[in-house]
Amino acid sequence: MTKRALLIGINYPGTSVELRGCVNDVRRMHRCLTDRYGFSNDNITVLIDTETSGPQPTGKNIRDALNKLIADGESGDTLVVHYSGHGTRLPTEEGVLDATGFDECITPCDMNLITDNEFRDMVAEVKEGCRLTIISDSCHSGGLIEEAKEQIGESHVNHPKPPWFASLFACMLATCGTSSSWRGRGGSPERLTRDIKFKSEDGETVDRKTRSIPLDSYIALFKEQTGQTDVKPGKIRQTLADVFGQDSSPGVAILSSSMKINGAGSKHPDNGILLSGCQTDQKSEDVHVVSTGKAYGAFSDAIQTILSATGKDKKITNRDIVVKARDILKRRKFRQRPGLYCHDRYVNEPFIC
């Protein structure tokens, strides 16, 4: 039985959406996996964007690493993916129906998005008897594995589908760079979040910034990085396919000649476990302690806090770690609510292994 991991941390240095804590999250998880869970350094792949000496966390490199991790996993193996970085949501492609009106995505450093549908298809390839745990400390992460069963959460991924006009209205709002469910603090439409100062539990002044890229900001960054000038919100998937070709998501080039429903005829991701930093319509927070310079993701820090308080010889279940993380974040005045998405058989299984 082998333990393998892929750790992805993206700070987006030098950009308007720069974060501080994502690479630190990865380093802490790396120590956790080796010290607590017995992972070998040789079986941990790290993709970060603050060092130029190694492979960068581009869309292609992340996809290749995910596919290799899953392909190498055999029955009895333990697989872990930790992602810290920005999340975003795309309105559905023109002529495509979707229960939420959006596709939740992670945002690689080159803006070559990886969608929830792609995660579903990759997780569906995990071999029987092999277990994959995904920890995503990013915005909108509750919807990151399309069709995964919601065990803890209030996301709408398993709720009754809205009428067609509701999805159309949501798509129109997203095209304008806002959404009926994309709300910032105080209920205002989402905009690119700058650092906001708060007092922590111990009285420290901290800067907090969401790990979310609004659609209009994503388009501006995409234009800047690719040189593309004609990028329409309703045609982003096709633009990704045009720019990145085979290195883009297999599902971004959607047939425009027919209506499709996301997930129709797809496999089900029953061998994957998702611990999300927030719900599908929420934002995860990036934290920077002003006096010490310490930076971290609120959800990642909550997980490490829980594990530190739990003896190495003791197991903690997936359910318990999400419930405890919710309590910690609520006590620390964060609005994000972590979630658990998996088959019933994994709910009370130990976290990671």
Buried/exposed 163-177: b ≥16 CB within 10 Å, e otherwise: eeeebeebbbbbeeb
- Alpha-helix residue ranges (DSSP H) falling in the chain: 22-35, 59-72, 116-123, 164-175, 215-226, 236-244, 298-308, 318-331
Task: For residue 353, indicate whether it is catalytic.
Answer: no
Which run of H or of E encompasses 274?
strand 272-276
Q: Which of 30, 82, 86, 156 is catalytic?
A: 86
CB atoms near residue 210 (< 10 Å): 27
The residue among 232, 231, 182 whose CA lies nearest residue 210 is 182
The residue among 338, 233, 328, 330 whose CA lies nearest residue 283 is 338
Structure-token match 């803890």, residue found: 152
- Alpha-helix residue ranges (DSSP H) falling in 112-235: 116-123, 164-175, 215-226
Report whether 118 contacts 251 (CB < 8 A). yes
Task: For residue 139, indicate whether it is catalytic.
Answer: yes
Q: What are phi and psi of 127, to 5 degrees?
A: -70, 150
Q: What angle do CA 23, 30, 26 make, to 5 degrees?
A: 15
CA quadruple 269, 274, 280, 284: dihedral, nearest 10: -160
In a 13 Å sphere around the CA of 235, the CA atoms on its Cβ side amount to 9
Report whether 86 contacts 138 (CB < 8 A). yes
Report whether 351 contacts 33 (CB < 8 A). no
Active-site residue numbers? 86, 139
